[in-house]
Structure 1
């Protein structure tokens, strides 16, 4: 394959879909929470790691490139996920924060992190074998070829589990979250690989929480609220930033400015008081300032999972909760999934 392949995508559904939803049935597999990557192994055995946005990941994972070169045949292209696993055997889990730290501009830091937090690759589709593209083959055939190719593969390269049993998939949705996984993906068994198209279906957890609004960022257009900053009280009574809610329409962004005006913090001269969130290497050139609000307004938000003490992804605004006292918005309300060993899933 001379050109980078855009990974096939999934559209969200409310629950694990029934197998008869599509003609030919469905194959279910765990949804991994890592960096989506297309692995290319050329005729000389050189390995390249592409990403969903076509940004090369090769330089950031030298230990994984070496492992893939040893374990994969030449002339193949695989679709899968780069993950970092942490914890002792029997108590392993995925670590998104450790994975995100692997994207670093300094070569010395890349080398150090490759030793401290080595990555793994979980394969779930096969796009080329012996130099021949098989994108037009149904997934059932591509999966069979992938199983043959990786029959004897060992860590840090893994073959994801699959099942055609919807009850097994529903159990995975509940149990595997405890190992840091992100949900369940359903793939039409008869479907060809469709780069950039949302052919697959994904089911993730849907939860709600009541959070305190700490402030808001102005939209990049300069008009209206771009995102709300959210907080929860910890066991010591400290209000901690846990993430943000965004994805408002242009009209709603302007309405929010008016709704939040009574809560805006102002100095003695009546000027708006602003704060700044912590910067990261991903936001070094980004405006991280926000308009501070008195922490008294409560909002109900929809989220899928937590990463440490923060929402893993940007959450969605559900409704205002004027009936809730801000001090009642604590971490205790959050659902904590039962622990599950990642090694059991990968074995």
Structure 2
């Protein structure tokens, strides 16, 4: 975070630095890793596995290894009421842009975006989840300063 906001630029700066500078930047600008999916584990590719299975593998990694901050498991739900709550609680963090909707049975296809992103517009949270669709899963996500909208 820089100035109370998530900063993709600061993260890029840290990632491209080395040696003493990397250590200084890590001290000055600590980062968290927020995991929402896993595509490979122990040299086994999981791209053809449904998201529900990949998510269970990811949750198992957090449990089996006792991962805590700076490792963060992104919340997920199939309940629209919880998704509405996540829309307000997670998007209160400056820089978190909204929710990502993925299908539980969805496979990961490289180069193909098979999910929807609902951006936080700053208005009534109940209006942010499309009423015409019942999402199969919702995942809070941030993509730095880039705005991605898939309709």
Residue in structure 2 matched with residue 166 of structure 1 by the alignment: 80
The within-5 A match list for 1:1-347 is 84=1, 94-96=5-7, 98-104=10-16, 107-151=19-63, 152-180=66-94, 181-206=96-121
Q: Distance in 2 between matches of 1:206 and 1:95?
A: 17
Q: CA 1:104/1:191 → structure 2, altered by over 3 Å: closer, same or farther?
A: closer
1:123 touches 1:157 (CA, 8 Å); kept in 2? yes
- Matched residue SS, 2:115: strand
Q: Distance in 2 between matches of 1:199 and 1:158?
A: 23
Q: Distance in 1 between matches of 2:19 and 2:87?
A: 38
- Matched residue SS, 2:117: strand
CA-atom RMSD in angstroms:
2.7
Q: How many residues were matched structurally?
A: 122
- Matched residue SS, 1:203: strand
- Matched residue SS, 1:119: coil
- Matched residue SS, 1:188: coil
Normalising by the residue count of structure 2, what TM-score does the alignment of the two structures yield?
0.67
Deviations 1:242-285 (A, max 9, x none): xxxxxxxxxxxxxxxxxxxxxxxxxxxxxxxxxxxxxxxxxxxx
The structure whose residues are more often strand, as a share, is 1
1:118 is displaced (CA, Å) by 2.0
1:173 touches 1:204 (CA, 8 Å); kept in 2? no
1:101 is displaced (CA, Å) by 4.1
Q: CA 1:120/1:141 → structure 2, altered by over 3 Å: closer, same or farther?
A: same
Using CA pairs under 8 Å that are at least 6 residues apart, name the structure with larger relative contact order, 1 or 2: 2
1:203 is displaced (CA, Å) by 0.3
Bigger radius of gyration among the two = 1
Deviations 1:145-185 (A, max 9, x none): 11111112122112111110112212222332221221001
Residue in structure 1 matched with residue 136 of structure 2 by the alignment: none
* Contiguous gaps of at least 5 residues in structure 2: 123-143
Q: CA 1:154/1:105 → structure 2, altered by over 3 Å: closer, same or farther?
A: closer
The structure whose residues are more often helix, as a share, is 2
* Contiguous gaps of at least 5 residues in structure 1: 1-83, 88-92, 208-306, 315-347
1:105 is displaced (CA, Å) by 5.0
Q: Distance in 2 between matches of 1:313 and 1:159?
A: 22
